[in-house]
Structure 1
Amino acid sequence: MTDHTHPVPHAVARLRADRLARSTKPFLARGGPKGARCGGCRLPTSHCLCAWQPRVPTQAGICLLMADTEPLKPSNTGWLVADVVPDTAAFGWARTATDPGLAALLADPQWQPLVVFPQEYAAPERVVQQLPSPADDDRTPARRPLFILLDGTWAEARKMFRKTPLLDALPVLHLQPDQISAYRLRRSRRNDHFCTSEVASLCLQLAGEHHAAAVLDAWLDVFTHHYLQARHQLPADLQGPAHQQLRAAVAACAAA
């Protein structure tokens, strides 16, 4: 776990800074905590999380394709994925243009990209439910899984899936979780919709990175606790269940 108070900006933080620089008017988040915010975790400085941010090396990578205003939202959980998983890339999405960095990442031979999306929206021949098996030829290095997550509202995610030509030839990974979402900061009409951090955790579990998935789940719980306590103007409980779970998950990861 990091012991500093201002983490080095990661991919989502850089995307947010770029998006703010291009804004012609301030972004006003609805319903979130008010007041001066920490630049490292987006929460009010009174509820800053930065001192507890975990960082877990993983074989798998995450690529976030983010709807236009998603990096600006205080409740966005793609930010939490980038906090925890070092190999997290983030790109803004626009229908009329594609970031050349995305094409370069998808063409990198070390990665096996998979678009994480429900199978009913893809042609059957593209759908997979497990990670591809390593090549039989031992001389060919196994490619690292790169999970592509479409970060936005459900309507935005469907649009990104349909209108991003770079994704059209990639396998579509259909997840089959056995639980419902526990995310409490935004409402969804469907229990089978998960926040971005939860989807990333499911992907890490599928890749066999169970300790990293547990740390990411615990980090989401700590973020949610601090966020809601700030909203209600109550102090964060640093000895409560969320922080205890995070400490245990980080310790288990370090011992593995």
Structure 2
Amino acid sequence: MALAPHAVHRLYEYRKSISTKPFGARGKKLIRCPLCLLGEQFCTCSLRKQLTTQASFLLIMYNDEVLKPTNSGRLIADLIPDTHAFLWSRTDPAPELLALLSSDHYQPFLVFPAQYADQGQTVLSQVPMATLAKGKRPLLIMLDGSWREAIKMFRKSPYLQGLPILSFDPDTLATYALRKGSHDFQLGTAEVASLALAAMGEEANGKALTAWFDLFVESSLLGRNRRCREDILPISDFTNAFEVAYTAATP
């Protein structure tokens, strides 16, 4: 049975409803699934499964980011049941967003590079699960947009100031980027979320999200007809890799 639409799906529909013109994504002539935004032939919605996790995620998305078929933030919501998504606003943040930040049920951590931390701001490399207040679970905040947009959100959001920052050292990022084949060590939102899950002791869940991201990337490239060489792995290899990673993460 297919899973119900999640927070990013709902935000996508809302953002479309207030648009004055269609979003002109690359490959706009491709017939896409309305949920995963992949080409219908390569839709992954039937494969989506939810992980068992103590993590919650808050995606703060820059304006058009939620409309982009290449956005990887939606992959977090695909697998993590307690995921929330809002459009970014400097002056008029959603009341529901502010309520999450002050909720007795969550301990927020802003996932962002330590080099941008204000003086005196707490910077962590691991989520201190053992010392969280009773009844609280980590709320991992992801600023979802281009790198320039993420910095703008960080600097111009008073409601984020003073939150503890979860940051990863350069060696961790470099190793991950090398394995992933990323450029300039600027990882996608879902890739950083995988590291955040590992930082709270959920390495298997992090690997499952990484495998889901790999499947998403390959399916996206297939939709653009950019996977035609004989040396490219078949899509079934990525599907199977996700199933294996998900099984390993399932209690």
Scaled by the length of structure 2, what TM-score is found?
A: 0.89
Q: Which structure shows the higher helix fraction?
A: 2
Q: Say if 2:4 is the partner of 1:11.
A: no
Matched residue type, 2:234? D
What SS does the corresponding residue of 1:24 show, helix, strand or coil?
Answer: coil
CA displacement at 1:183 relative to structure 2? 6.0
Matched residue type, 1:109? D
CA displacement at 1:123 relative to structure 2? 2.0
Q: Say if 2:236 is the partner of 1:221.
A: no
Matched residue type, 1:46? Q
What SS does the corresponding residue of 2:110 show, helix, strand or coil?
Answer: strand
CA displacement at 1:65 relative to structure 2? 0.6
What SS does the corresponding residue of 2:24 show, helix, strand or coil?
Answer: coil
Distance 1:40 1:75 in 2: 13
Distance 2:5 2:131 in 1: 36
CA displacement at 1:33 relative to structure 2? 6.6
Q: Say if 2:236 is the partner of 1:239.
A: yes
Matched residue type, 1:237? P
Give % identity.
40
Deviates more, 1:230-239 or 1:219-228: 230-239
CA displacement at 1:133 relative to structure 2? 5.6
For the 8 Å contact 2:108–2:138, the answer to whether it is kept is: yes
The match for 2:116 is 121
CA displacement at 1:212 relative to structure 2? 1.2
Distance 2:32 2:180 in 1: 22
For the 8 Å contact 2:33–2:43, the answer to whether it is kept is: yes
Unaligned runs of 5+ in 2: none
CA gap of 1:213–1:97, structure 2 versus 1, over 3 A, is same
Q: Say if 2:31 is the partner of 1:36.
A: yes
Distance 1:64 1:110 in 2: 17
Matched residue type, 1:35? L
Please, what is the CA RMSD of the aligned residues?
A: 2.2
For the 8 Å contact 1:82–1:88, the answer to whether it is kept is: yes
Deviates more, 1:8-17 or 1:171-180: 171-180
CA gap of 1:233–1:46, structure 2 versus 1, over 3 A, is farther
The match for 1:52 is 47
CA gap of 1:160–1:183, structure 2 versus 1, over 3 A, is farther
Write the deviation string for residues 162-220 of structure 1: whole angstroms up to 9, x where unpaired. 11111112111111225243667xx85x22x1100011100000111122111101100
CA displacement at 1:244 relative to structure 2? 2.0
Distance 1:52 1:59 in 2: 22
